[in-house]
Structure 1
Amino acid sequence: MSVRPWRDIARRKSRQIMVGKVPVGGDAPITVQTMTNTPTEDAAATIDQIRRCEEAGADIIRVSCPDEASTAAMPLIVRASKIPIVADIHFHYKRALEAADAGAACLRINPGNIGSSARVAEVVRAAKANGCSIRIGVNAGSLERDLLEKYGEPCPEALVESALDHIKLLQDQDFHEYKVAVKASDVFLAVSAYMQLADAVDCPLHLGITEAGGLIGGTVKSSIGMGNLLWAGIGDTIRVSLSAEPEEEVRVGFEMLKALGLRQRGVRVVSCPSCARQGFDVIRTVETLESRLQHIRVPMSLSVLGCVVNGPGEARETDIGLTGGGAGKHMVYLSGVSDHTVENADMVEHIVRLVEAKAREIEAAEAALAEQAVAAE
């Protein structure tokens, strides 16, 4: 039982599917996704972008397949990628067949958009033969005409009905390895649709506020919408849709999950907004540290505060802490206890070294525990 029950999030119960070797749904960790924006036929550029997303921590990555040249490049891309590839298909069912044969782990497709039931059956056969899952992606901006006529405008009920219609097409083919998204750029519309869908189905849900905007605006919109759903226990995999580089989407996604205690990766920075009491330039220091510490994958916490008002209290709750002091000397805290001082000129390099050393210490301890567990078997 948690000692802080007010922090507990009870996740919605869903069945689990596999996207390649990555489990989605059930009790699996909430996965973070993004999407490449290079021309897929340029395999080298696409692979280079996937590499950057892998380094940022992406669990799954989506690659658009609008034409035959794109699916022709897929075998090379799939072989080079360390994480599962989702092939994004819109209307042409043959692209789905080609992507499945090329090794895609998942097909993003709306079964009702590709034509006849015979075509749906053909895609399902290809998915089954190649071990592919399917993501149904309903979007408020591309709802079916009959639903727009029925409801008059995009609304939660229309998005959910569209999702259920697409689900039925797969279930009619005895296919159940699917997840569903009901995205909208309107936060209220998306949240309401996801909440309704969560009550109607047991499959994993892929969260997103689509066309959210640029790095700042899109992060805010996504955090409000997706944070609302995640806090309610809804969501098994997420993509933050930003007009920014895909690796930024990954970083924002992890920060969202870290803020809710749903997933931990890398350094969680606690820092003050700064004021006239600051003993050093907090804003520039945090910017530099966040950039310098992006390579750290081990979960840990770092507090950076400009003065002693809240600094000691925050430092007690973090692995490493830094509090501004007078005469250019600042207090460093280790495991919540004041340990030594550091001068302005050495401050950033010193903190980076401490974080890297702490990461190595944690990794060594985890490796030792793993060895003990193996030896005990």
Structure 2
Amino acid sequence: MTREHTKTVKIGNRLIGGGNPVLIQSMCNTKTEDVKATVGQILRLEQAGCEIIRVAVPTMEAAAALKEIKQQIHIPLVADIHFDYRLAVAAIENGADKIRINPGNIGSRERIKAVVDQAAERGIPIRVGVNSGSLEKEILAKYGGVTAEGLVESALDKVAVIEDLGYHNLVISIKSSDVMMCVKAHELIAQKTDYPLHVGITEAGTLTSGNIKSSVGLGIILYQGIGDTIRVSLTGDPVEEVKSAKLILKTLGLRTGGIEVVSCPTCGRTRIDLISLANQVETMAAEFDELNIKLAVMGCVVNGPGEAREADLGIAGGVGEGLLIRKGEIIRKVPENELLNALRAELCALAGRNVNE
């Protein structure tokens, strides 16, 4: 199943599924009740490229805060609900564009119906979420523990409960911290449903381990045409999740725009602080989303121009100086302490910006 064969679901002012682009989602780590902090984080996430944002709603105060938060942001707002159906109802009443629930921990059919009725009245999609840590005892017993097959069966059982109530405006997510289990589960569920899928490796870890696990898992899943929204789950600043998600999509060719930075791994010839320089260049490049170019950062003047030939623009370090390179051709030499500013000037020229912006 490819994305073209999934149903189209509207979340706020955005569409997912039905061949629409894969959207990037993240989740706030602020207390939702703290409107100022939550809005501030969402605005930073918007600037980084986040397209859907989820917030935890553990209290009625948090549900009420959604109304004020929504007025100050520009991307769809998803409410994450566990256990208390009244929180889901209140979240919808206060303007949530989508709600995430696990019907298994919401309770009785009547409570689930109360949520579904409210969602149906306002046309709000429900994301049915199942994690490997929340599988029912019956499923665990049937499959002898947590398995991809169990995840899929549990999720589809939950979906059936809502379908039986006459509602089909749904998104499904099945997550595991086991990368290959997660991959298999998505391959299986893609054959069994045409609802849009939200994809992520849950509890992936810190910046290093989380990025590696998410890149491998999401890469395999998305490459098969499976997945309509993604989240890179990291223990840290959620802005880093968005940066990683953008790079994963761009690497797979599912998104264009923005500067792709390539840099050499350094060697004994390097006579410039390339590690620091490459990091500074990557940070600067993130400011130029309107450019769709490749930018090379090379450690020496021996191989720099040649290795940067495939890049639109590049820099190569020397002894106290560096080279500015365009399409493999040296433009000019620049003192090391002026190299970053010279590169910024080139980028501004390409973007049609004033260098002082």
1:106 to 88, 98, 101: 98
Q: Is the 8 A contact 2:324 2:343 kept in 1?
A: no
Give the counterpart of 2:325 among 307, 327, 332.
Answer: 332
1:279–1:328 CA contact under 8 A, matched in 2? no
Greater CA drift, 199-208 or 274-283: 274-283
Three-state SS of the structure 2 residue aligned to 1:330 is strand
1:312, distance to aligned residue in structure 2 (A): 3.0
Q: How far does residue 126 in structure 1 lie from its aligned partner after superposition?
A: 1.1
Query: Which one of 307, 313, 322 corresponds to residue 320 of structure 1?
Result: 313
Unaligned runs of 5+ in 2: none
CA shift for structure 1 position 132: 1.1
- The within-5 A match list for 1:74-223 is 74-223=66-215
2:295 alignment counterpart: 302
What is the Cα deviation at residue 183 of structure 1? 0.3
Structure 1: which 5+ residue stretches go unaligned? 1-9, 362-377
Residue in structure 1 matched with residue 254 of structure 2 by the alignment: 262
Amino acid at match of 2:157: D
CA offset at residue 214 of structure 1? 0.4
Q: 1:354 to 1:102 in 2, by over 3 A?
A: same
Change (3 A) 1:84 1:317: same
Query: Which TM-score applies when normalising by structure 1?
Result: 0.88
Q: Calculate the aligned-residue CA RMSD, in Å.
A: 1.9
1:295 CA displacement: 2.3
Q: Is 1:275 aligned to residue 267 of structure 2? A: yes
What is the deviation of 1:237?
Answer: 0.7
C-alpha deviation, 1:208, in angstroms = 0.7
For the residues of structure 1 that align with 2:10 and 2:84, how far apart are their CA atoms?
Answer: 24
Judge conservation of contact 2:323–2:331 (CA < 8 Å) in 1: no
Counterpart residue number, 1:31: 23
Counterpart amino acid of residue 359 in structure 1: A
- The C-alpha deviation readout for 1:214-256, integer Å capped at 9, x for no partner, is 0111111111111111122211110011101111111111111
In the alignment, the residues of structure 1 paired with residue 221 and residue 330 of structure 2 have an alpha-carbon distance, to the nearest angstrom, of 39
Structure 1 residue 12, shift from structure 2 partner: 6.1
Alignment partner of 1:332: what SS? strand
Q: Distance in 1 between matches of 2:308 and 2:155?
A: 47
1:14 aligns with 2:6: yes
Q: 1:124 to 1:310 in 2, by over 3 A?
A: farther
Contact persistence 1:325–1:331 (CA under 8 A): no
SS in 1 for 2:5: coil
Identity across matched positions, percent: 44
Deviations 1:145-180 (A, max 9, x none): 221222221101110001111111222223222111
* Residues paired across the two proteins, number: 352
C-alpha distance in structure 2 between counterparts of 1:253 and 1:330, whole Å: 31
CA-CA distance at 1:325 after TM superposition: 4.5
Q: Secondary structure at the match of 2:42?
A: helix
Contact 1:41 1:69 in 2 (8 A): yes
Q: CA deviation at 1:48?
A: 0.8
User: What is the match of residue 276 of structure 2?
Assistant: 284
State how far apart, in whole Å, the 1-side matches of 2:330 and 2:169 are: 52
> Which residue type is aligned with residue 111 of structure 2?
R
Partner SS state of residue 250, structure 1: helix
Native 8 Å contact 1:182 1:190 kept in 2 = yes
Deviations 1:108-150 (A, max 9, x none): 0122321222222221221122231111111001112221222
